[in-house]
């Protein structure tokens, strides 16, 4: 006791700055990135000078252990690129990324035993193996004893209601069942940090719900496990995630709990308005009106849907006047609570759908 006292004081004195600024913080965080960037070299036609595409720029993220963290963004936002870097499959062009306390570029061998990843629509494994055999094989690659692996496979398949498919060849599975198998593969190895890239891509409502329920249940039962998922479904991010980072064009625009993100819009009023086709009226014209903050527009067969974010209720009057002045009829009007979609519109200036059609047009 007598010996220990001065030692501790000395040690903590010596290490305090280091602990405070460095190592300890990283170890507490499941994911930590600093000024992370990735540039792809595009190999175009010959002779042409090589073009570059900035997929991620200046990403600073901290995810605590035990968090269910969501990356929300449209196609081409850089979500998959970020996941690839965090899972040691892609080197950062600059900046640092740490997962489970280790630098992904410098110490991938320390990171790999602690992580796993599942992507939506992946076709991993071998079609001639059964569901059980495929899962068993991947468990072997993580050094899980065979007997324990089989036990866990049974338990996990039961939870996703696939016990009856244990001995089905994986080539005979439907898309939804296949994806459930992939998800089970991710949880099977009990990773400290699990990455799910669009886990519900292409699934029907019921299968998506199964997957979400499973994820939620898992996080409740494993408080020290961290999960990062990407999605471009707003509802999924909203319902599931403790915190969400909204990402667009390779940049993080906002990062907070869904409730806090929406609270920024609390003082705004949001209307969803279904109108007859716009007859050439630009949504920007509406944004120019006093009290109108953001307008997003989405054509819908024979009609159009306008999402209006207004600074105050009164602004609705001038919107209605402008519309009727252009001979546009209002078919339906709803006032509603702010959603993450509105947060996105507010940050980016247009809806995620619009962002995606724009991104497609410019990059293909």
Partner 1 sequence: MALTDRVPKNSGWRLFLQTVVGRAYPRIIGLLRELSWFFFEVFLPVLSVAAYVFIYRAIGAPDVYIGFVVMGGAMTAFWLNILWSMSSQMYWEKQTGNLALYIMAPNSLMAILLGMAFGGLFSTGLRALVITLVGTLLFDVSFEVSNYLLLFAVFMLTMVALYGLGMMTASLFLLLNREAWHYANLAQEPVYLASGFYFPIKSLDFWIAAGASFIPLTLGMDAMRQLSFSGGTELGFLPVQTELAILAGLCVVFLIGARWLLGYMERLAVREGRLTESRR
Ligand X SMILES: Nc1ncnc2c1ncn2[C@@H]1O[C@H](COP(=O)(O)OP(=O)(O)OP(=O)(O)O)[C@@H](O)[C@H]1O
Nearer to ligand X, 43 or 46 (CB): 43
Q: Considering only CA atoms, which of 73, 66, 56, 127 is closest in space to residue 237? A: 73
Give the CA radius of gyration of the chain: 24
Nearer to Mg ion, 70 or 101 (CB): 70
Q: Considering only CA atoms, which of 171, 164, 177 is closest in space to residue 204? A: 177
How many other CB atoms are found less than 10 A from the CB of residue 359? 16
Q: Are 92 and 105 in contact (CB under 8 A)?
A: yes
DSSP code at position 168? S
Residue of 9, 19, 35, 145 interacting with partner 1 (CB under 8 A): 145
Tell me how far the alpha carbon of residue 185 is from its chain's centroid. 19
Q: Considering only CA atoms, which of 275, 334, 265, 263 is closest in space to residue 303? A: 275
Residue of 64, 65, 142, 166 interacting with partner 1 (CB under 8 A): 142
Residue-wise DSSP of 315-344: HHHHHHHHHHHTTPPEEEEEEE---HHHHH
Q: Does 157 bind ligand X (CB under 6 A)?
A: no
Q: Does 148 bind partner 1 (CB under 8 A)?
A: yes
Tokens 């979500």 map to which residue?
79
Q: Are 354 and 296 in contact (CB under 8 A)?
A: yes
Residue of 123, 174, 282, 357 interacting with partner 1 (CB under 8 A): 123
Tell me, by CB under 6 A, how many residues bind ligand X. 14
Nearer to partner 1, 171 or 266 (CB): 171
Beta strands in the chain (DSSP E): 29-42, 51-64, 68-72, 94-99, 102-103, 115-119, 193-197, 226-231, 243-248, 251-256, 269-275, 292-300, 303-310, 330-336
CB of 29 vs partner 1, minimal distance in Å: 20
Q: Are 307 and 342 in contact (CB under 8 A)?
A: yes
Q: What part of residues 215-244 is at the interface with ligand X (CB under 6 A)?
A: 232
Q: Does 81 bind ligand X (CB under 6 A)?
A: yes
Residue 164 backbone phi and psi in degrees, to 5: -70, -10
Residue of 37, 72, 82, 144 interacting with partner 1 (CB under 8 A): 144
Q: Are 56 and 84 in contact (CB under 8 A)?
A: no
Stretch that binds ligand X, among 23-31, 69-77, 146-154, 209-217 (CB under 6 A): 69-77
Residue of 75, 93, 175, 222 interacting with ligand X (CB under 6 A): 75
CB of 30 vs partner 1, minimal distance in Å: 16
Instruction: Give me the 79-118 binding string for partner 1, x by CB under 8 A, dash otherwise.
Output: -----x--xxxxx-----------------x--xx-xxx-
Residue of 107, 133, 256, 274 interacting with partner 1 (CB under 8 A): 133
Tokens 């002045």 map to which residue?
325
Q: Does 138 bind partner 1 (CB under 8 A)?
A: yes
Q: Does 233 bind partner 1 (CB under 8 A)?
A: no
Q: Does 240 bind partner 1 (CB under 8 A)?
A: no
Which option in Mg ion, ligand X, partner 1, none does residue 119 bind, with CB closer than 5 to 8 A by kind? Answer: partner 1
- State how far the Cα of 17 lies from the Cα of 221, in Å rounded to an integer: 35
Tell me, by CB under 8 A, how many residues bind partner 1. 45
Q: Does 189 bind partner 1 (CB under 8 A)?
A: yes
SS3 category, 102: strand
Nearer to partner 1, 168 or 322 (CB): 168
Instruction: Give me the 149-168 binding string for partner 1, x by CB under 8 A, dash otherwise.
Output: --xx--xx--x---------
Tell me which residues touch ligand X (CB under 6 A): 40, 42, 53, 55, 73, 75-81, 232, 363
Tell me which residues touch partner 1 (CB under 8 A): 40-41, 84, 87-91, 109, 112-113, 115-117, 119, 122-126, 128-129, 133, 136-146, 148, 151-152, 155-156, 159, 189-190, 221-222, 364
């Amino acid at each position: 006791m007598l010996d220990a006292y001065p030692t501790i004081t000395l040690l903590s004195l010596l290490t305090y700055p280091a602990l405070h600024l460095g190592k300890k913080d990283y170890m507490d965080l499941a994911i930590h990135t600093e000024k992370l960037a990735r540039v792809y070299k595009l190999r175009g036609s010959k002779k042409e000078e090589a073009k570059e595409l900035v997929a991620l720029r200046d990403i600073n993220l901290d995810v605590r252990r035990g968090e269910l963290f969501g990356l929300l963004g449209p196609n081409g936002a850089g979500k998959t690129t970020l996941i690839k870097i965090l899972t040691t499959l892609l080197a950062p062009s600059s900046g640092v990324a740490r997962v489970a306390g280790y630098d992904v570029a410098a110490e991938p061998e320390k990171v790999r035993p602690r992580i796993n990843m599942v992507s939506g629509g992946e076709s991993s494994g071998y079609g001639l193996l059964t569901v059980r055999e495929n899962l068993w094989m991947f468990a072997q690659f993580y050094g899980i004893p065979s007997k324990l692996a089989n036990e866990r496979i049974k338990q996990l398949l039961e939870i996703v209601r696939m016990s009856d498919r244990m001995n089905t060849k994986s080539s005979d599975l439907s898309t939804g069942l296949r994806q459930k198998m992939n998800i089970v593969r991710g949880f099977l190895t009990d990773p400290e940090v699990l990455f799910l890239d669009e886990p519900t891509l292409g699934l029907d409502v019921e299968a998506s719900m199964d997957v979400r329920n499973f994820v939620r249940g898992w996080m409740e039962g494993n408080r020290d496990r961290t999960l990062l998922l990407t999605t471009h479904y707003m509802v999924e991010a909203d319902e599931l995630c403790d915190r969400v980072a909204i990402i667009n064009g390779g940049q993080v625009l906002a990062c907070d709990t869904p409730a806090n993100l929406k609270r920024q819009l609390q003082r705004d009023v949001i209307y969803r308005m279904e109108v007859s086709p716009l007859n050439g009226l630009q949504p920007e014209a509406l944004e120019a009106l006093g009290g109108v903050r953001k307008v997003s527009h989405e054509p819908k067969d024979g009609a159009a849907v306008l999402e209006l974010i207004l600074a105050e209720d009164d602004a609705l009057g001038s919107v209605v006047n402008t519309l009727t002045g252009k001979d546009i009829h209002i078919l339906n009007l709803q006032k509603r609570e702010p959603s993450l979609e509105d947060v996105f519109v507010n940050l980016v200036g247009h809806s995620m759908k619009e962002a995606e059609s724009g991104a497609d047009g410019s990059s293909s």
